Amino acid sequence: MIHSLFLVNASGDIFLEKHWKSVVSRSVCDYFFEAQERATEPENVPPVISTPHHYLISVLRHRIYFVAVIQSEVPPLFVIEFLHRVVDTFQDYFGVCTEAAIKDNVVVVYELLEEMLDNGFPLATESNILKELIKPPTILRTMVNTITGSTNVGEQLPTGQLSVVPWRRTGVKYTNNEAYFDVVEEIDAIIDKSGSTITAEIQGVIDACVKLTGMPDLTLSFMNPRLLDDVSFHPCVRFKRWEAERILSFIPPDGNFRLLSYHVSSQNLVAIPVYVKHNITFREGSSQGRFDLTLGPKQTMGKAVEAVLVSSQLPRGVLNANLNPSQGTYTFDPVTKLLTWDVGKINPQKLPSLKGTMSLQAGASKPDENPTINIQLKIQQMAISGLKVNRLDMYGEKYKPFKGIKYMTKAGKFQVRT
Amino acid sequence: MLKGRVLEQSNALPFTFTFLSETSVHFRVMVDTDVHACLCGPLPLHDDLKEMLDSNKDALKLEAMKRIVAMIARGKNASDLFPAVVKNVACKNIEVKKLVYVYLVRYAEEQQDLALLSISTFQRGLKDPNQLIRASALRVLSSIRVTIIVPIMMLAIKEAASDMSPYVRKTAAHAIPKLYSLDPEQKDQLIEVIEKLLADKTTLVAGSVVMAFEEVCPERIDLIHKNYRKLCNLLIDVEEWGQVVIINMLTRYARTQFLNPNINESLLEEGGGGDKTFYCSDEDEDEDEEKEKQAEVSALAKRKPYVMDPDHRLLLRNTKPLLQSRNAAVVMAVAQLYFHLAPKAEVGVIAKALVRLLRSHSEVQFVVLQNVATMTIKRRGMFEPYLKSFYIRSTDPTQIKILKLEVLTNLANETNISTILREFQTYIKSMDKDFVAATIQAIGRCATNIGEVRDTCLNGLVQLLSNRDELVVAESVVVIKKLLQMQPEKHSDIIKHMAKLTDNIQVPMARASILWLIGEYCEHVPKIAPDVLRKMAKSFTNEEDIVKLQIINLAAKLYLTNSKQTKLLTQYVLNLAKYDQNYDIRDRARFIRQLIVPTEKSGALSKYAKKLFLALKPAPVLESPFKDRDHFQLGSLSHLLNAKAGGYQELPDWPESAPDPSVRNVEVPEWTKCSSREKRKEKKVEKPFYSDSEGESGPTESADSGEFDDGSESVSVSVESGSPSDSEESEESSESDEDEEEEEKEKKKKKKEIKQMQASESRARSKPDVSFQTIAPSSALKNYELLHRITGEGLSVEYCFSRQAFSPDANMVAVQMHFTNNATSDTKNLHIEDVKLQSGMRVKEFAEIELLPAGEATTAVMGVDFCDSTQAANFQLCTHTRKFFVSIQPPVGELMRPVFLTENEFKKEQSQLMGMNEISENLTLDAKCRNEHAIVQRVTTAANLSRVPCGSDKECRFAGKTVTSGSLVLATVATKDEGAAQLTVNCEKMVIGTMLVKDLLLALTQ
């Protein structure tokens, strides 16, 4: 399926290649570079490129292109999903997935790629299994290895490969048994000029960090499971149980994993946590434009709105912006025309605002497009949909685990049109 | 040369030198190789590495290998190290070994002869007791692309395909396509291996072998028949990548085997009509006639209405939960399966899942939107509720924006067009001009498709003509041209407006469009048209080719309608064109001159020139580029590219009539469903031990039967010899007279118990769902002690296998427990706790007995799924005060239930269970047991089998099925002279067979 993999950095250099079948010359990437040149933005490179003898399927993560070479029919999503899984694994192993990290750990990367694909077909992609085969590099382990001469490579078939629960290793032991769950919700919204909501939906995930000894069997139940309209599970979740009782029953993988991602039905009205008052105008004839932006909290259920970051792509005609923030700092990049305003926390008593003028290119006509405003924010200790975890129970093990749950709301793709 | 010398000297200090070569990496490759070529020869470069590899320290070797692998990763040539590396293939250090493997696989193709040196190491590795080493040896062996070793690979694959470890079998499945690509002539042999592996019941193997099937022999759809149901049932537990491959393959399979669920919705109604006549005929008084009609009608009804094949339904049902997968590829695979296979009413479920994927990475969005775009053309209604999810954000990459636009356009209809147009209006103001152009196109398409909004759209577009951005204007012109063609009369002012634009617009396509419009409708703008031509004639030489062609067209049309004003201009333009560089334009000019300018030589055609040029032209239809893309399987690469990719398997059309569905029947329906996912899996993992490798199954099984003594201290198997006392006819087994006679029940128990036993039995029997195939129990029940009254402190428990179907779960053996409280105080809360079972076994506990008063007795029934093994089920029996460790161990005869077979069926089944599955023993019958009756009596007591009618009186035959897996158990006792006899047992499960023979021998000889 996947013939070869090339890793290309932002400046267009191939810094790693791996072949699973016979070697494909790296000149095949020329087609990719061509497409890269044609695309104005890095993310506009088409994910699938057809060349005379091969097909190139690529993903862009952390400013690295992962280019897979395919020779015959294969579902493109299969390859794309796999490449993302590779990136996730690198991130899991090295903390970050940058060119430097990959170059530093090139041997581990190679060993990983060797295990993840056999003849181009995925073999082991479950991080728990991989970690038994190839231990992640840590400073301690590197030192121990140099002293004792032991290796980073497991000698036994990982227990997970054959077991009922391939995602969990056996023989896990912790002195502190803990299970933490983060319910993180993101609001995707488009607000129109007049402030009314065009579309808004909530996407949520439950990320877990489970460090429990043995083979615990967990059940997690919600106060209001009906809220969840569409869900996708980690393979560990028993689907039947969810169908019948709306309870998440699972044997967790060891460590960090995403238990569930969900979508809150759009029938429910979505609370919009902030409002934006804006007045961005350009006058015909003059080389000045007015910029006036005020933020305020809306439906936040009494919680503070934090880490607010406003960004906006101003029209090409804008040369510079001379603005005055009531709080926080702003930057304007005259090359990319990107305005960002780091607001911080919104104080309901004293609403943050950003006012001032923009200078336009002399003689240029008034730009006829209005910029959209993108907002990022965080609200702690609240899931905006109102989702609540009822209880978490553990079966199968005797000890009492420490359990914790955290809620958070973020803005996802939150846009205000002006 | 001098420099080379310097470098060679520095070889003495290996580390310095490596540092040098490390830095050179940062140059571009071209430079890199040049540097090597001119500074130093290729060979001395790696001397240090060779030294390290030759050393006897693992650490040095490892360091060297790591550096070599880093070189390979960077794409540098390390092939000259081959001999030094290959020596280390047998290195003890596993990491060195692995890296050597990496190296070997990379360079073996280039150095075939040297690569052969390593083969013997792998062959040794194939026999290693560690399954990981076996697997990785096979992996490397099969990855070395050296044609000479094809026979060795073939042998290794065949052997590994019947390995004990499913992981090794999986590796074998992976190796099949490797060998196939190396030597396609091995196809036939490989298909045999694939066929064998397809029958594998482990989830681990399933995905890989289907992958191999798809690469080697996708046309051999017949291999799937027998495995179809198994694959459907396994699907949810297969790893995600395997799921994708299996689902895609099953989609193709289903298209060849089942009927189109959507084809005869109209026929279904006709079927309803048929029903009507059926009711009419009810009133008919003539019975014969009625019967005739009835038969006719029912035959008709049978043929006509569409009934979904249960296997088709099975596929749809088992794939649906996978829409919830976290893996986008799996979701997409299920979505395309539903799109291609499901009845219209059910396809809708996929929309929600696909919309969910739009939250994912932009590459995933790209692919999903492509597929959604195709789907929206066929099934618009499906995505309409999610219209707003396709609204475009300014932060989306352009390619995503354009695809979303496509979907929005496809979704537009009379009801939602106003919201969509409002949305489009904001898009036109975007800074992304490519996207604005696409939006204008989309507006044009909405306008052509939905008549009501045509004028609104046209007005909007005309306003855009005064936009400052030229691209926007140009695109609008092109779209307006298309729209105007639909109704030109009404819009002469728009044409005039556009004529003015020729001064400003420079985009060739737009200029050409305007000129075409003016030429085509020159009668509507009689004054302006000649003037436009005049201007164009002036700039003719500087125009683009498409504009030039349109100028010629315009000139010709004007010449025909208004020759007075334009004759000279036309001549001028044609003359210019005559000397143009482009031959198309020269040709066109020559052709038009001949056609329109009358000369003495001009033929008959010029009379019709006006008709030719100014014929009414049909308006263009604006179509989605995604129309008809669905003849490619959705989700495939070919669909995305809209061109057939290599190795693409066409999605076949539905067959006219369904092929024989019985091909999917499997003789022994061994696939049993369990309620819990885990349990099912465990069993799957276990199965191969029994069914797969015949050679190895022997020892494993005997190990199985050796584990009798798991702490079953309190069980004393008290076999009480039964004698016939009371004959009872069972309700269900009235098949043959012969049977009835012999199916007698014998009971010999303590008097006290009898009543209760009967009571409980009748209760059990009155339960409604007694399985149809099985036949009632046919012999006396033996009681076993579970808890002695002394150890139980007054509580004594006995159990027997009641041989009733256990209604909550057909795979369980019913165990009837009889509790007697001999103590002086009451016992409360009798229940089961802490069940300890071998994997795969399950227990259905009896309901808690709240109170057992002193001196009283009661019974309860529990179910145990022994998984067709005689392992004990251990648990604690708890009262309100005490816990007792007890265990139930079934004699092998209780692990089966009777089955009714005819003599012929019996012979047929027996003939299929020959060889390893047949066990025969000669014996001398007990003196009391020389007649047929006694034999039947003893056999049915020892094992829960039913008598099979038999023509010969020398033979008694019995048949049953194991409870869990439903494997047939056939027993034959052939009597000879003087009490000699031969006992034959045929059973697929050899353990069961062997043990049953032992038990029956005992029963017949004592």
| Structure tokens that stand for B503 in this block | 């001064």
**Secondary structure (3-state) at B517:** helix
Identify which of B109, B319, B256, B252 has the alpha carbon closest to the alpha carbon of residue B648.
B252
Tell me which amino acid residue A262 is.
Y
Looking at residue B686, what is its pLDDT? 38
Considering only the C-alpha atoms of chain B, give the largest distance between any 2 of them, rounded to a whole number of Å. Answer: 136
Give the pLDDT confidence of B806-820 residue by residue, as tens digits: 777 777 888 888 888
CA distance linking residue A159 with residue A165, whole number of Å: 9
pLDDT value of position A342 = 92
Integer distance in angstroms from the first to the last C-alpha of chain A?
A: 47
Using CA atoms, how far apart are residues B240 and B57, in angstroms rounded to an integer?
42
Comparing A152 with B141, the larger pLDDT belongs to B141
CB pair distance less than 8 Å for A82 and B367: no
Nearest to B75 among A26, A77, A152 (CB): A26
Which residue stretches of B711-791 are H helix? 737-742, 751-766
Interface residue of A31, A83, A118 to substitute, partner B, most B CBs within 10 Å = A118
Residues 150-169 of A with CB under 8 A from B: 151-153, 155-157, 161-166
**Which of A35-49, B45-59, B687-701 holds the top average pLDDT?**
A35-49
B143, B327, B649: residue with CB nearest A81: B327
Distances (CA, A) of A15 to A92, A116, B340: 20, 20, 42
Specify the pLDDT at position B58. 81
Contact B724, B937 (CB under 8 A): yes
Residue given tokens 């009235």 in the structure block:
B734
Q: Which residue has the tokens 């020869």?
A: B41
Select from A41, A63, A119 the residue whose CB has the most chain B CBs within 10 Å, as the one to mutate to test that interface: A119
Please state, in angstroms and as integers, the Cα–Cα distance from residue A51 to each residue in A31, A72, B47, B206, B728, following that order.
7, 12, 40, 32, 80
CA–CA separation, B605 vs A386, rounded Å? 79
What confidence tens digit (pLDDT) does each residue in B116-130 have? 888 888 888 888 888
DSSP character for B879? -
| Chain A: closest CA distance from residue B239 (Å) | 9
Whole-number pLDDT of residue B265: 54
Q: Which of B394, B463, B466 to mutate to test the interface with A (most CBs of A within 10 A)?
A: B394
Residue B441 token pair: 């196109």
pLDDT beyond 50 at B842? yes
Helix, coil or strand: residue B930: coil
pLDDT at B315: 92
Return mean pLDDT, chain B.
Answer: 76
Sheet of B842-844, strands arranged across: B783-787, B795-805, B813-821, B857-865, B842-844
Q: Which of B97, B431, B638 to mutate to test the interface with A (most CBs of A within 10 A)?
A: B431
Write down the H helix ranges in B108-165.
Answer: 112-115, 119-125, 131-143, 150-161
How far away is chain B from the Cα of A235, in angstroms, using its nearest Cα? 7
SS3 B875: strand
Query: pLDDT tens digits for A122-167?
Result: 888 888 788 888 887 766 666 666 666 556 666 666 665 666 677 8
Q: How is domain B894-1005 classified at the CATH fold level?
A: TATA-Binding Protein (3.30.310)
Q: What is the pLDDT of residue B734?
A: 40
The answer to whether the beta carbons of residues A287 and A362 sit under 8 Å apart is yes
Q: What percent of chain B has pLDDT over 90?
A: 11
Contacts of A153 in chain B (CB under 8 A): 94-95, 98
pLDDT of residue B453 exceeding 70: yes
Residue type, B76: K
Nearest of B110, B49, B364, B43 to residue A19 by alpha carbon: B110
Residues of B in contact with A84 (CB under 8 A): 361, 363-364
Give the C-alpha separation, B297 to B272, whole Å.
11
Distance CA B261, CA B88 (A): 61
Ranked by mean pLDDT, the top range of A89-98, B84-93, B721-730, B961-970 is A89-98
CA–CA distances in Å: residue B133 to residues B140, B162, B424, B653: 11, 16, 61, 46
In percent, the amount of chain B with pLDDT more than 70 equals 79
CB-nearest to A239 from B324, B352, B468 is B324
On chain A, the residues whose CB falls within 8 A of the CB of B75 are: 14, 17, 26
Greatest mean pLDDT among A72-76, B740-744, B929-933 lies in: A72-76
Distance CA B410, CA B422 (A): 16
Q: What is the spatial distance between Cα B562 and Cα B433, in angstroms, rounded to a whole number?
A: 40
Could you tell me how many CB contacts below 8 A there are between chain A and chain B? Answer: 251
> How many whole angstroms separate alpha carbon B321 and alpha carbon A231?
11
When CB atoms are compared, the residue of B93, B431, B675 closest to A151 is B93
Token couple for B834: 């802490």
- Are B241 and A55 an interchain contact pair (Cβ–Cβ within 8 Å)? no
Give residue B965's pLDDT. 81
Summary mean pLDDT of chain A: 86
Return the sign of the alpha-carbon dihedral for residues A23, A27, A32, A36. positive
B774 against B622, higher pLDDT? B622
pLDDT digits (tens, 9 = 90+) for B177-219: 999 988 899 899 999 999 999 988 888 889 899 999 999 998 8
Report the alpha-carbon distance of residue B423 to residue B404 in Å, rounded: 12
Inspect the interface and report whether the beta carbons of B69 and A107 lie closer than 8 Å. Answer: yes
Burial string for A292-301 (b: 16+ CB within 10 Å, else e) reads ebebebeebe
- Mapped onto helix, strand or coil, the DSSP state of residue B360 is coil
Asked if B108 and A149 count as a contact pair (C-beta separation under 8 A), the reply is no
Q: Is the pLDDT assigned to residue B399 strictly greater than 80? A: yes
A14-28, B659-673, B990-1004: which has the highest mean pLDDT? Answer: A14-28
As a whole number of angstroms, the distance between CA B158 and CA B147 comes to 17
Look at A371-385, B404-418, B460-474, B736-750 and tell me which has the smallest mean pLDDT: B736-750
Residues in A touching B328 (Cβ below 8 Å): 77, 80-81
Contact list, B101 vs chain A (CB under 8 Å): 114
B385 CB-side CA count, 13 A = 11
- Are the C-beta atoms of residues B919 and B748 closer than 8 Å to each other? no
Summarised one tens digit per residue, pLDDT across range B752-770 is: 444 454 444 444 444 443 3
Whole-model pTM: value is: 0.69
For B643, name the nearest residue in chain A, comparing CA atoms only.
Answer: A50
pLDDT of residue B962: 85
Alpha carbon A171 to its chain's center: 31
Each residue's pLDDT tens digit, B9-21: 444 434 433 343 4
Which residues of chain A neighbour B167 with C-beta distances below 8 Å?
157, 161-162
Nearest chain A residue to B434, by CA: A40
Question: Would you call B503 helix, strand, or coil by DSSP?
Answer: coil
| Torsion over CA: B625, B631, B634, B638 (sign) | negative
- Are B59 and A157 in contact (CB < 8 Å)? no
Residue A39 phi/psi, 5° resolution? -75, 135
List the single range of B51-55, B69-73, B326-330 with lowest mean pLDDT: B51-55
* Residue type at position A229: D
Closest by alpha carbon to A330, among A368, A358, A299? Answer: A358
Q: What angle do CA B547, B549, B550 make, to 5 degrees?
A: 65
Both tokens assigned to A122:
């995925």
Q: Considering only the beta carbons, identify the residue of B166, B398, B676 that sits closest to A44.
A: B398
In A, residues 341-360, which contact B (CB 8 Å cutoff)? Answer: none
The 8-class DSSP code of residue B81 comes to G
Looking at beta carbons, which residues of chain A come within 8 Å of B327?
Answer: 81
Q: Which pLDDT does position B858 carry in this prediction?
A: 84
What is the rounded CA–CA span in Å between residue A274 and residue B297?
68
pLDDT of residue B661: 82
DSSP 8-state symbol, B793: T
CB contact under 8 A, A19 and B106: yes
| pLDDT (tens digit per residue) in B239-263 | 889 999 999 999 999 998 888 888 7
Q: What is the pLDDT of residue A183?
A: 93
Q: What gap in Å lies between CA A373 and CA A370, rounded to an integer?
A: 10
B814 touches B861 (CB < 8 A): yes
Show the beta-strand stretches assigned E in A62-156. Answer: 64-70, 117-118, 121-122
- Tell me, yes or no, if A192 comes closer than 8 A to chain B by beta carbon: yes
Q: What is the DSSP string of A166-220?
A: TTS-SS---SS-EEEEEEEEEEEEEE-TTS-EEEEEEEEEEEEEEE-SS--EEEE
Q: Report the run of H or E that residue A57 belongs to, with start and end.
A: strand A55-61
Homologous superfamily assigned to B784-886: Gamma-adaptin ear (GAE) domain (2.60.40.1230)
CA distance B460 to B453: 11
Q: What mean pLDDT is predicted for residues B90-98?
A: 82
Q: Is A80 close to B329, i.e. CB distance below 8 A? A: yes
Mean pLDDT, range B66-77, rounded to an integer = 88
Chain A: give the shortest CA distance to residue B307, in Å: 27
For chain B, say whether A234 makes contact (Cβ under 8 Å). yes
Q: Cα(B859)–Cα(B483) distance, rounded to whole angstroms? A: 86
Q: How far apart are CA B991 and CA B707, in angstroms?
A: 13
Residues of B in contact with A81 (CB under 8 A): 327-329, 364
Q: Which distant-in-sequence residues (6+ apart) come within 8 Å of B106 by Cβ?
A: A19, A23, B72
Q: How confident is the model at residue B869 (pLDDT cuts 50, 70, 90)?
A: confident
The span from the CA of B843 to the CA of B866, in Å, is 8
Residues of B in contact with A46 (CB under 8 A): 366, 399
B877 forms bridges with which residues in the sheet? B832, B884
Which of A118, A149, A232 shows the shortest C-beta gap to B324? A232
A74–B637: do the CB atoms touch at under 8 Å? yes
Q: State the pLDDT at residue B273.
A: 38
List, for residues B871-913, the tens digit of each pLDDT value: 788 888 888 888 888 888 888 888 888 887 888 888 888 887 8
Find the residue in A nearest to B431 (Cα). A369
Please give the residue of chain A at the shortest CA–CA distance from B64.
Answer: A107
A374 close to B (CB below 8 A) = yes
Look at A168-182, B534-548, B826-840 and tell me which has the smallest mean pLDDT: B826-840
Residues 6+ positions from B828 with CB-CB distance below 8 Å: B850, B851, B852, B879, B880
The minimal CB distance from B167 to the residues A59, A110, A162 is found for: A162
Least confident of A333-337, B331-335, B383-387, B706-710: B706-710
Residue of B nearest to A3 (CA): B178
Strands A117-118 and A64-70 turn out to be unpaired
Chain B contact for A329 (CB, 8 A cutoff): no
Cβ <8 Å between B175 and A119: yes
Residues paired with residue B555 on neighbouring β-strands, in sequence order: none
Write out chain B residues lying below 8 Å of A22, CB-based.
Answer: 109, 145
> What's the pLDDT score for residue B236?
86
Q: Tell me the mean pLDDT in the region A205-209.
A: 92
A300: closest CA of chain B, how far (Å): 24
Give the gap in angstroms from C-alpha A182 to the nearest C-alpha of chain B.
18
Here the tokens at position B939 are 């056999």
Mean pLDDT within B620-631: 79
Cβ contact (<8 Å) for A107 and B389?
A: no
B849/B858 Cα distance (integer angstroms):
9
Is 70 exceeded by the pLDDT of residue B1003?
yes
What pLDDT is attached to residue B193?
92
Does A217 lie at the interface with B, CB-CB under 8 angstroms?
no
Could A107 and B75 be called an inter-chain contact, meaning their C-beta atoms sit closer than 8 Å?
no
**pLDDT score of B174:** 92
User: pLDDT tens-digit profile of A406-416?
Assistant: 999 999 889 99
Q: Are B373 and B624 in contact (CB under 8 A)?
A: yes
Best of B138, B244, B326, B465 to mutate (most A CBs within 10 Å, chain A): B326
A91-95, A391-395, B535-539, B852-856: lowest mean pLDDT where?
B852-856
**pLDDT computed for residue B672 by the predictor:** 43
Among residues B975, B970, B972, the alpha carbon closest in space to that of B953 is found at B975
Backbone CA torsion sign across A114, A118, A119, A120: negative
